[in-house]
Each structure stands twice: as structure tokens, then as C-alpha cells.
Chain A
């Protein structure tokens, strides 16, 4: 049966903010006070990025935004476990992971403002641009991992996807290939309980993590709102991949506290009590409780963290509202690597068409 707690869930930080020992504890034994403060800062900042982007959407500056609210620990815990030369293939919701990879804030919103087909250069931050076709990126990650193995490199590919995605053929086929070729890939599934209006119970009758062993892939369920546990299980999976142990599957059990996107209205399909319940397991609150208990959340620290969040939010907003409008003929760019005669003709005709208005003194009829 599916569960959101229980014995099979790796947890190193309880909702009450107590750090607990366990077999996975050693994977994060090096995370001392300063590192905990760093993780706290990361989570606060990405939540702030999310709030700012949501506000920008409400103000008409962005067409759409997919919030990560509630999934900060899953994204920061795993994202901060990665090495620079590892490569991420994600969906649209992993802005926290993108933050860890060093993505420019403006690059996070270009697409959502409708200015460009994508934001960052994948090779600059070793992260593919977000995938909208549900599940497709899991195959890309698997292929990247197969290529890494061919190269004899020890970099790992990480695929991020949702609970809904696990129903797609692509995701299941990715697991077949990953297992057959013992590809160094980590499947990181954020089970946020919902795929738009569909509960995870529609996608799977068992814990999602239970599927992977059937493909020959070791899996683990982790408390997705526990940043330490998420980091620990990701480190383990990365190490397995690096040392030739092949693929791993992680189910991070978390909750989408916001709407699917800013266009969605969850009150149509979701019991508000559920949200209240999950607020008690808020990923940032619980780390704050631990820090407080250990005297690590001093006024200085919160001031520093808030200042950083303010600064990032201001940069995001500034980058957004000052984005230059695309040029008239930009639509023709990058369709091919080299000029394509038919498309070149269309570009030429369209530029003549635009020029015909200038000739006529501007304006339309």
C-alpha cells in the first residue's frame, strides 16, 4: 500500500526538527552547522524565487509559472548532492535544482514570459532545458548516461520527473534501457501526490518506488520534505552509479502545496485539509526548528538569508521586466544548423511583407 510515512521511508530530520540517526545518516555525516545553514538559505531563496515569479505572473509579467512550493527539500537536497560534471534532465518544476546548478534567474523565466524557446545553455550548467512533454527526459538522461559510460567517465545523469510521469511509456522504457545497459543514471521522482487534478492513487496502486526493482533497479523511498534524507539517498545513488553499480530509483515523497501552475485552481479537486496536513510537514520549517534548537538560527543568520532572498528576488524581477522584446524575424532562427532554402525563402518573403507596411507609411489596413 502507498503511504506518506512509515517504516520504509528514509528520514533523517523529523517534522519536529530532530535530527535522527539511521543507516543513511553516514551519507550526510559531513553536513555540519554551517552546511545546514547553507541548505536553509538555499531553500528560503528558491521559495522566494517561486513567490516572486508567481507575483510576476499575477502582475501580467509572466504568462505562466509552475510553482515548486513545498518541494524545496527534495530539490535542494538532491541538487546539492550533485557534482558539477553530472548532468540533469528535468521537468518544468525543478527551478530549485536549476538554482543549485547555477542557472541565471532571468534564464529561469524567459520561457514563461514567452520571450524565447528556452533559457540557459545546457552545457554551461550541465542541465538540459526543462522538458514539458511528460516523462520524455528520463530517456534522454538514460542515453546521456549510456554515453558517459562509453566515454569511461564517472559523471552521472539525473532524471527528475513527477508521480504522474511514471505512467508514461517513456519512463518505463527508460528504466528498461537503464537496467539493460547498467547506465549510470539516477531516476529522481518527486511524488508530490498530484498530477494536475489526478491523485497519485490513479497512477500507481503501490508505492512508486516498488516498481523499480521489477526492472532490476534498486530503489528507495525518502521523506521528500527532509533535506538531509534527500541529500543522503541521492549521494548513495550517485556513488552507486559512479562506481559502476548502474541505475537507481528514488521516490521523494512530498507535496505540491501550490496549484499545478498559476493557471490551475486546485480548490476544484483537492480537499483543503490535505494542504493543512502537509503544512505541518513543511520542509523549511523543520530545518528551521533544527537550526533553532542548535542555536544556529541567530538574528544574523536570518538577516543574511533574508537579504540574499531579497536580492535574488530583485534580480529576478529586474531581469524579467527588462528582457528585450524578440526581433521580428527571430522566429526563423535556429530551426536548422545551416540555411534551409525553403525556410530562407519564407524569411525573405516575410521580411518583404513587413517592409511593405513601412513603405505604405506604417500601420496596418
Chain B
């Protein structure tokens, strides 16, 4: 066991993957000498060479497009998108090529790309630096979508993502990069599936589903609720595509109440998918309609306003009150 930051855990995971497989190459903007703007690739170019840790010219579409070509030739590119909001120039390559090539070639061509994306807000950043674009990719068939919330998962799952023959979007909650945690570097990687959610805190009354940076907030909310005599079960999704419905269903069958939280906008978001699917699967176990506690349907706001937009402990507890039928901010409002 060693203690390391979330960022260092990914760095260590990348290093392991590169040692393990010479076909793993990293490509992205400023990832070489600088080690990336978040230093996630710190020292890797020095140790593995500029041919394996490639500083890309400033063009995201080209980063993804050339990664496709490298994958055609048997490489396993790990693309770094500098910030969430800069993935859109690459969107075309990801959606039209990366996601579809295995299907289009009837399984003959594999696209084992990993696309690393620092995502989410809470760091007081400028426009385009705090976004949560994960729903676009969940909506795209052919992609797997992961979001890790702690150093141990980050260390193990980045390696699993790279080893996976499918393309994986790997969303890293940037506001957690500096948070430290225990990492067992000898852990059995096989025990980290790319499809499994994890129950972080067991509870009886309400299921609270989160991922990325909001997992910690949800855990804090569960502790606060406990003081009020409410038992909240917190689930870290870890995989956004596919969703781990076995874990979600088991929890909701027990609690009968579901709250989903994410930073991304509400409409067409992950919460909508979880709520609809769980309603289909567990309708007779539900005591209340699922509740979503999410960012608003707005462009990500300026730094001094982001605390309104980001779900926090109080908003999550208000959601818990709503799903429990306790007094809440919308009490008395019909059809809330």
C-alpha cells in the first residue's frame, strides 16, 4: 500500500500499462516535457521517449484521427484531451470513426483507444474548462464510458481501460486530482471490471447514485443524513456505459427510493437514463418517483456562480427529503 494523489495514481497506472505493453503510446497536447497541464503524464516522456509520449500539434480532431490510424496498425493509443471542453473538435472522429469501426469492419478492426478527459467543475476555471460531456458519449454506441472517483480505482481502471479492446472514454474528475488515498499497486487488476458499480456506503432508506467528483459529496451527504436518522446507500457508478443495473436494481429493490446526482445538465443526462431504466426494471419496488439532483440546463457558468450550478451536500439532502416525502424545498408544489 502506498499513499498517493489521484493524479499520481493515474500517472502510475499509465506507467504500468506502458511497461506492460510496448504498443501503448500516449498522445496529447503538452503531455511531454510539461507532463500535461495537470502533470498526469509527468516524467513519462523522459522515461519512455518522445516516440511513445507524443506531444501533439494543437488539433484534437487530428489527435483522435491519427490515433485511429495507429490503432489500425495494432497500437493502443491513450489520447489526452487537455480539458473536457476541448473534446468537441474531436467529436466527429470519436463518434463517426472510433465508435463505429469495429462494427463497420464486422469485427476485423479493433479500436483499443483510451480517451482520457479531465472533467467537471469546482475549480474556479474559465469557460470550457469545467464541463461534463459524458452523456454525449454514453449516447454513442460502440464506446465504453468510465468515470473513476478515487486513487485506487484510477490506478487499476486506467490499466483496464487501456487493456480493453473497445474504445474507452475515461473521465477523470479534475477537482479530485490532488486528493490523496491509499493505493495497492499489487492489487489484482482482474478484480476491477470495467462494468461494475460499487456500493460505497450501505444503507436501507434511499439509494443515492453518483460518479466522479460527486461520489465524495454523496458520501458526505449520507453521513449527514445518518445524523437525522436516515440511512442512505451510496453507489459509485464507475461505469457509465454500460450501467451496472445488477448493482443498481439490488439497491433500489431494498430501499425503494432512488436519487441520482451529476454535475452535467439534467435534460437528456445520465440521471434520465438511470431513472427510466430503474423505473422499468423495479417499478413495483419504488415508493417514490426517482429524483435527480443535477446541474441546471445551462452553459457551465462563470467561476463565481458555479456553486449554484454544482450539486452540493445540501442539494443532495433536499433530494433525499423529496424522495422520502419529508419536508423539502418543493413541498406543497404539485407534481414536483
Contacts and interface: CB of A to CB of B under 8 A. Distances in A.
A64 B29 CA distance: 20
Contact of B30 (A64, A167, A197, A364): A197
Contact of A268 (B34, B85, B297, B318): B34
A325 B318 CA distance: 26
Interface of B: 29-30, 32-35, 37, 55, 57-59, 61-62, 85-86, 88-89, 124-128, 224, 266-267, 296-299, 301-305, 308-309, 313-315, 317-318, 328-330, 333, 336
Contacts of A117: 127, 299, 301-302
A134 B303 contact: no
Contacts of A197: 30, 32-34, 55
A18 interface: no
Interface stretch (A75-83, A98-106, A248-256, A349-357): A349-357
A326 interface: yes
Given A133-B128, A202-B55, A346-B297, A169 B89 contact: yes
Given A197-B33, A268-B33, A349 B302 contact: no
Contacts of B224: 365
A195 B58 contact: yes
Interface of A: 63-64, 111-117, 132-134, 164-165, 167-170, 195-198, 202-203, 263, 268-269, 325-326, 328, 330-332, 335, 342-343, 346-347, 349-350, 352-353, 355-357, 364-365
Q: Main SS of chain B's interface residues?
A: loop
B336 A342 contact: no
A365 B321 CA distance: 13
Given A117-B301, A342-B297, A198 B55 contact: yes
A349 B57 contact: no
A170 B86 CA distance: 13
B302 A116 contact: yes
B89 A170 contact: yes
A115 B301 CA distance: 9
Most buried by A among B89, B305, B314: B305
Contacts of A356: 318, 328-329
Contacts of A168: 58-59, 89
Contact of B124 (A114, A134, A167, A347): A114
